[in-house]
Amino acid sequence: MNTTPQASQPTPRELVRREQRRQALRSVAIWILGPTLLATIYYAVITPPQYETDTTFTIRGAQPSSTGLLAGLGVAPTTGITTDPRLVVNYLISPASIAELKARFGFDQAFSHFSLDPFAYLSPNSSIEWTTWFWNNHMKATYDTTSGDVNVQVFAYSPQESLRLAQGVLAAAKSVEDVLNKEVQQGSLNLAIAQVASTKKDYDAATKAITALQGNVNTLTISTQAAEAVTLVGQIDTQLATLKVSQAAVQASFNPNAPQAKSIQSQIANLESQRAAEIAQAKAAPGSSQAEHDVAVQAALLDYQFAQKNYFAAESALVAAQPQNQNQSFVVAYIPPVMAEASDYWKRFLNVVAVALASGLLLGAGSLAYSVIKDHLQ
C-alpha cells in the first residue's frame, strides 16, 4: 500500500516572514499606491486642465536714459533701479487689479464654470480675501531686478480666457503707471507753484528793502568772500528747488516714514542748514571797521541777491515741473500675450510621480523610525 507524502508544515520562522511580507504589501498598498491612485484620479478626472499665457513687459521713459518715473525729477532710486516695476507688481497682486479685471475682462466668467474641484471654482460672490488668494494662485507676477522686466503668467481653463486675462493684466499695469505719472506730475506742479509764490514774496521784500536804503548802492562793491557766498547759495537754492519738487514724487509713491522719503528730507535739511551758514558768514564779511550804513546796505544787497537767485531757481523748477517737460514713463510689452495651444493635462501627471516618490520616502522614514522605537522598547 502506497502512501502519499504529506506537505511539510511551515516553520514558525517562515510564518513570521510571510506575515511580514503581507504587512509590507499592505503598507505599500495603503501608503504608496493609495495616494498615487488618488492623485491620478484627481489630475485625470476631477481638476480641469489649465492653459498658460505669458507676457513680459518693462517700464521705459520718454528718454532712453530714463530709469523710471522718479528719475525725470532728479530722484535717484536708493537701490540703483527703478521703483516703478515694484509698484506695478504690488498693484497686480492686490484686490484693486481684480476690480479692474472684473469690470473689463470677464474675470468672473473665467473662473465661475462648474468643476468637481472646489479649488478650481470661484463664485462671483466670494469674499475679496478669498478672491485675491485664488487670483494669486492663477497669476504669477515676478520682477527681475537685473533686467528690470516684469514677467506675468496667467492660468485659466480655456485658451481664450487665459489670453483675455493676460491682456487685462497688461492693461491694468498700463493704467496704474498712468495714474502714477499723473499723481507725480500734479504733485510736482503744485509744489513748484507754491515754491515760486513763496520765493517771489521774499524777492519782493528784499527788493523793497534795498531800494529803501539811502545812499548810492551801485557804488558799493561786495567783497570777494561775499561774492563767492552768493554764488554758492545760488547753487544751493537750485538744488533745494529740485529736491523740493522731487519730494512730491516721493510722497506720491512711498510712505512718509519710508527710507526714500527720509533721505529726501535729510538732504533738504542739510542744504537749508548749509545755506543759512553761508548767508550768515557772507553778512559778517564786511567787518566792524566799515561804516554802519555800508554794513546795512551790503547785508540788504546780499539778501536781495540771495532772494533773486532762489526765485529764479524756483521759476526754473516750475518750468521743469510742467507735464510736457517731465519724462513720463510707460509700459512696453516686448513679449505680448498670445493664445495658448496646449494645456497642462499631460504635464501635470509628473505630480503623480512626485506623490509616489514622496509617499515612498515617507513610508521608508516611518518604517525606520518604527523599527528604532520598537528595538529600543524591547
**SS3 (DSSP) at 80:** coil
Whether residues 336 and 301 fall in one domain: no
In a domain, 267, yes or no: yes
**Looking at residue 166, what is its pLDDT?**
95
Please determine, for residue 233, whether its predicted confidence score (pLDDT) is greater than 80.
no
What confidence score (pLDDT) does residue 62 get?
43
Considering only residues 329 and 296, tell me which one the structure prediction assigns the higher pLDDT.
Answer: 329
Residues 137 and 165 in one domain: yes
Q: Which of 18-27, 124-133, 154-163 has the lowest mean pLDDT?
A: 18-27
Split into its structural domains, the chain has a count of 2
In a domain, 94, yes or no: yes
pLDDT score of 216 more than 70: no
Inform me whether the pLDDT recorded for 113 exceeds 80: yes
Residue 377 lies in a domain: no
Is residue 336, in this structure, part of any structural domain at all? yes
Find the mean pLDDT for residues 132-142: 95
Question: Does residue 159 share a domain with residue 79?
Answer: yes
299 lies in the same domain as 177: no
Q: Is 223 found in the same domain as 133?
A: no
pLDDT over threshold 60, residue 5: no
Give the model's pLDDT for residue 102. 94
Q: What is the CATH number of the domain that holds 96?
A: 3.30.1890
CB 180 within 8 A of CB 253: yes
Strand blocks (E) in the chain: 51-61, 139-143, 150-156, 329-335
Check whether residue 64 and residue 140 sit in a common domain. yes
Domain identity same for 252 and 334? no
Task: Please report the pLDDT score of residue 371 as a whole number.
Answer: 79
42-46, 268-272, 353-357, range with the lowest pLDDT: 268-272
Average pLDDT over residues 201-223: 65
pLDDT band at 51 (very low <50, low <70, confident <90, very high): very high
Q: What is the pLDDT of residue 305?
A: 77
What is the reported pLDDT for 26? 83
Is 39 or 299 the better-scoring residue by pLDDT? 39
Alpha carbon of 67 to those of 53, 55, 82, 85, 348: distances in Å?
28, 21, 6, 11, 40
What is the average per-residue pLDDT within 273-287?
69
**Residue 66: predicted pLDDT:** 39
Put simply, whether the predicted model's pTM sits higher than 0.95 gets the answer: no
What is the share, in percent, of the chain residues with pLDDT greater than 70? 75
**Is position 339 within any domain?**
yes
Residue 49's pLDDT band (boundaries 50, 70, 90)?
very high
The single-letter code of the amino acid at 112 is S
Mean of the pLDDT values across residues 123-144?
94
Q: For 221-240, b where at least 16 C-beta lie within 10 A, e where not — what string?
A: ebeeebeebbebbbebbbbb
Burial environment of residue 122 by CB neighbours within 10 A (0 to 12, 13 to 18, 19 or more): buried
Asked if residue 207 belongs to a domain, the reply is yes
Reported as a single tens digit per residue, the pLDDT across 63-90 is: 443 344 444 444 444 433 355 788 899 9
> What is the arithmetic mean of pLDDT over 199-214?
76
How far is the C-alpha of 273 from the C-alpha of 280, rounded, in Å?
A: 11
Residues 78 and 139 in one domain: yes
The domain of 216 spans 201-323
If asked whether residues 148 and 252 sit together in one domain, one would say: no
Note the pLDDT of residue 211. Answer: 76
Residue 262 makes CB contacts below 8 A (sequence gap 6+) with none
Average pLDDT, the chain: 78
Q: What is the pLDDT of residue 367?
A: 81
259, 333: one domain: no
Look at residue 226 and tell me if it is in a domain.
yes
Question: Is residue 13 situated within a structural domain?
Answer: no
For position 210, what pLDDT does the model report?
A: 75
* Confidence band for 366, pLDDT divided at 50, 70 and 90: confident
Whether 148 and 171 map to the same domain: the answer is yes
Q: Are 341 and 299 found together in one domain? A: no
pLDDT at residue 81, rounded to an integer: 39
* Chain center to CA of 151: 13
130 exposure class (CB count in 10 Å sphere: 0-12, 13-18, 19+): exposed
Whole-angstrom distance, CA of residue 325 vs CA of residue 188: 12
Q: What confidence score (pLDDT) does residue 136 get? A: 95
pLDDT of residue 223: 57
